[in-house]
Structure 1
Amino acid sequence: MEINMRSEVKWVSSSGILKGRINIKAKEGNMDGLRELVKKMNTTQKDAFRREYGNLLGLIEVEVQTSAITTLAQYYDPPLRCFTFRDFQLVPTVEEFEQILGIPLEGRTPYNYLGQYIPVLQLARIIKIHPMQLEREFTTRGKVRGLPQRYLEQYLHRLAEEERWETFMDVLALLLYGVMLFPNFKNFIDDAAINAFVGYKDRSENPVTAVLAEVYGTLHHCYEKKGGQMLCCLPMLYVWFVSRVIENALNATCPVDELLQCKPNMKGTNE
């Protein structure tokens, strides 16, 4: 399933509603270089990537309007773990995130975070880099180890030139795990993202529940601190939210498909 969402919906928050609420900022990772790299893939390669990794290629094309996310976050109700509005409540579910990510829950065990340990040998085998060479590329941000996004993007360019497309797709997926699903620092693929990727690729562990848990965990953290920055899973949260406010989207088979079908109407509603 291909997603190509460059929505032009304008989200306007009410200063009266948000006055005195917590200061949450939403910020996307650096997607531009990845979008350019995806253009190097032909249709057959993109189809193979979707079969292996679900809807990640489509989600990278989602232009998240961060004002929608920051406004939505003001309505999060920590005790109830839902978004509470005047007349109704919205709750993101595992099933909805399963549909958005395009990774079936059936047949895979949920991803189990193993801590800050980084499985260098497994990762090196998957992305076809000698373990000693890969180990030298690791750096530290704060107290967290990981790989610079720039290094992996340069490696992707080399793989494309050499037409090593199977490895290209694995490295691209690793980057998307770090930049889009489990970001912690900008332009940095940290241990949490690497572990989730290796868990999916090497142990058939499903990341859907971990993505949803990351959304809830980030919101809870921001409320505890009376403010903060949201980096994780923004395309998934944005697609989920917009799909719930589009007419008839609540009964849609797939929120992403519904958004694609309703895109012209979305553009026109605020003009």
Structure 2
Amino acid sequence: MENEFLNKVEDNAAVRAWSEKLQLEKGDSLTEGYVSELQEFTRVNTAQNELQELRDIWAHWDEEAKQSFYQSYGDISYLLDIKVDKHLFRAMVRFWNAAYKCFTFGKVDLVPTIEEYTALLRCPKVQVKKAYAKVLNGQTFTKKLMNISGMSEPWVAARIQQKGDSKCIPWENLRDLVLAHPDERKRIDIFALSIYGLVIFPKALRHVDEAVTDLFDRLEK
């Protein structure tokens, strides 16, 4: 177990070095002369999705299904058991730099990169040097859900909801598919989508946001 952890740390150091080198070569993305300042006041909502149903589903899967999941999506299932320290979260938000999308401590900017997450969570679908991509022919939310779930257009369209400024699909609908879909491959994909939507990039409670399906749809591309 210790060796596996050390290997992950070494991988993470390598991608961090690659990321820093690339940033130095490409330069800052903000306009010249821009001065970045931390916000004087930030409102924090620490509400979280209830993940027990996801944990129960994972616990009932046999070892073959779990290995298939690991091969496609790495170690993201371990995120289901991580407890968020709300007090630490509230403290760190004070240093969140909205302009740079990173934490600013004095003259140091710090934020985990996609490449670092890839190394830590062993996500094989994310190719390190192809993390950023442009969508040439973007599909609709309905089409993306159809591709991921294997369900018909009427089924998907009837379950899409509007939450604030974005479209979502309720977790209950995805849960039912994970439990009853006849295609095991689809069950695994939908379960992974749910982790991305409820744990990694949550927006509306108990719903998976359209932006998450956009990311998920491009993982292999």
Q: CA deviation at 1:99?
A: 2.0
Asked whether 1:189 is paired with 2:190, we answer: no
Contact (CA 8 Å) 1:179, 1:187: kept in 2 or not? yes
Structure 2 residue aligned with 1:167, among 165, 169, 186? 186
Q: TM-score, normalised by structure 2?
A: 0.68
* Residue 140 (structure 1) aligns with: 162
Unaligned stretches of 5+ residues in structure 2: 6-39
Q: Which residue of 2 aligns with 1:63?
A: 83
Deviations 1:189-227 (A, max 9, x none): 121112111122xxx24xxxxxxxxxxxxxxxxxxxxxx
What's the TM-score, normalizing by structure 1? Answer: 0.57
Counting aligned pairs with the same residue, the percent is: 16
C-alpha distance in structure 1 between counterparts of 2:66 and 2:46, whole Å: 29
Structure number with greater CO (CA < 8 Å, separation at least 6) is 1
The runs of 5 or more residues in structure 1 that have no matched partner are: 4-19, 206-271
Kindly tell me the number of residue pairs found equivalent between the two proteins. 181
* Aligned partner letter, 1:102: R
* 1:162-210 deviation digits (Å, cap 9, x = unpaired): 5x4211101101111211222221111121112111122xxx24xxxxx
User: Alpha-carbon deviations, 1:37-63, whole Å to 9, x = none?
Assistant: 111212221121111112211112211
1:52 maps to 2:72 = yes
Q: For 2:44 and 2:154, how far apart are their aligned partners in 1?
A: 41
Is 1:82 the counterpart of 2:100? The answer is no
CA contact under 8 A between 1:179 and 1:186: conserved in structure 2? yes
Contact 1:76–1:83 under 8 Å retained in 2:
yes
Deviation at 1:146, TM superposition (A): 1.9
Corresponding residue of 1:93: 112
Between the aligned partners of 2:205 and 2:166, the Cα distance in structure 1 is 13
Give yes or no for the alignment of 1:27 onto 2:54.
Answer: no
Q: Is the 2:144–2:213 Cα contact (8 Å) retained in structure 1?
A: no
Give distance in 2, aligned partners of 1:120 and 1:96: 31
Counterparts in 2 of 1:1-271, with a 5 A limit? 22-77=42-97, 81-84=102-105, 89=108, 91-94=110-113, 95-103=115-123, 104-106=126-128, 108-112=130-134, 118-159=140-181, 164-200=183-219, 204-205=220-221
Give, in whole Å, the separation in 2 of the partners of 1:100 and 1:59.
11
Query: Which amino acid in 2 is paired with 1:157?
Result: L
Question: Pairwise CA RMSD of aligned residues?
Answer: 3.1
Aligned position for 2:36: none
Write out per-residue CA displacement over residues 13-38 of structure 1, whole angstroms, 9 at most, x where no aligned residue. Answer: xxxxxxx8644233322212111111
The 3-state SS of whatever aligns with 1:29 is coil
